Amino acid sequence: MTTEDAGRNPVDSRSRRIVFVCHCLLNANSKVEGLAQYAGVHPLITQLAALGIGIIQMPCAEMGSCGMSRWGQTREQYENVAFRGLCARLSDETLAQVHEYRRCGYEILGVVGVDGSPTCGVANSASGHWGGEYAPAEWAEVVSSVESAPLPGVHIEALFERLEPLGIRFFAIDESVEGHHVDEVIRGLTATE
């Protein structure tokens, strides 16, 4: 028995391994209408559960600020002061949980985001300068101007600032590719450093 194990209940079977995931990986219903590629829970979650890894669902900042009738928006639209403030507050709560679990000997395997999202992208996020009144005649042109920028989404950026200095690693599901990078994410989370 190690010093760390001393005092622990031997019949307690928790793994003490935890991953933080973006909200919609456990609840596709939070996504912008028309964008859900699975009914409820992403296949990544099933695999994490089978491995005995605890899963913490972070709040959906878009749902919390713009509700379920929101349009798909770009990073530039979400880079406003109010949304950044919301993401900072949500990230502070995540940081507090990380500190508490680590203080008590739990292992934080990482954070999993959703690439392409202007809010939860890790390697890239939807980017484009649009906004204003909906104009059907110009809509196709506006939508086609959106591109993928090699920047994290606004919520993930706030998490990076707080968690990367602590050595927390970030991974992402990418729904634009076959398999969504699930295998890579699992390998990364479970790799011993």
Positions that interact with ligand SF4 (CB under 6 A): 22-24, 30-31, 60-63, 114, 117, 119-120
For residue 23, give the nearest of 63, 72, 50, 68 by alpha carbon.
63
CA distances from 59 to 33, 176, 184 (A): 18, 23, 24
- 116-117-122 Cα angle (round to 5): 70
Query: What is the closest distance, in whole angstroms, from the C-beta atom of residue 89 to ligand SF4 in the complex?
Result: 15
Query: What is the closest distance, in whole angstroms, from the C-beta atom of residue 58 to ligand SF4 in the complex?
Result: 7
State how far the Cα of 40 lies from the Cα of 160, in Å rounded to an integer: 27
Query: What is the closest distance, in whole angstroms, from the C-beta atom of residue 21 to ligand SF4 in the complex?
Result: 9
Judge contact between 160 and 120, C-beta under 8 A.
Answer: no
Query: What is the closest distance, in whole angstroms, from the C-beta atom of residue 22 to ligand SF4 in the complex?
Result: 4
Q: How many CA atoms lie within 13 A of 106 on its CB side?
A: 20
Quick one: 60 or 185, whose CB is closer to ligand SF4?
60
Quick one: 52 or 131, whose CB is closer to ligand SF4?
131
Quick one: 155 or 186, whose CB is closer to ligand SF4?
155
Quick one: 24 or 158, whose CB is closer to ligand SF4?
24
Query: What is the closest distance, in whole angstroms, from the C-beta atom of residue 103 to ligand SF4 in the complex?
Result: 27
Quick one: 87 or 98, whose CB is closer to ligand SF4?
87
For residue 170, give the nearest of 82, 58, 74, 8 by alpha carbon.
58
For residue 104, give the nearest of 193, 8, 21 by alpha carbon.
8
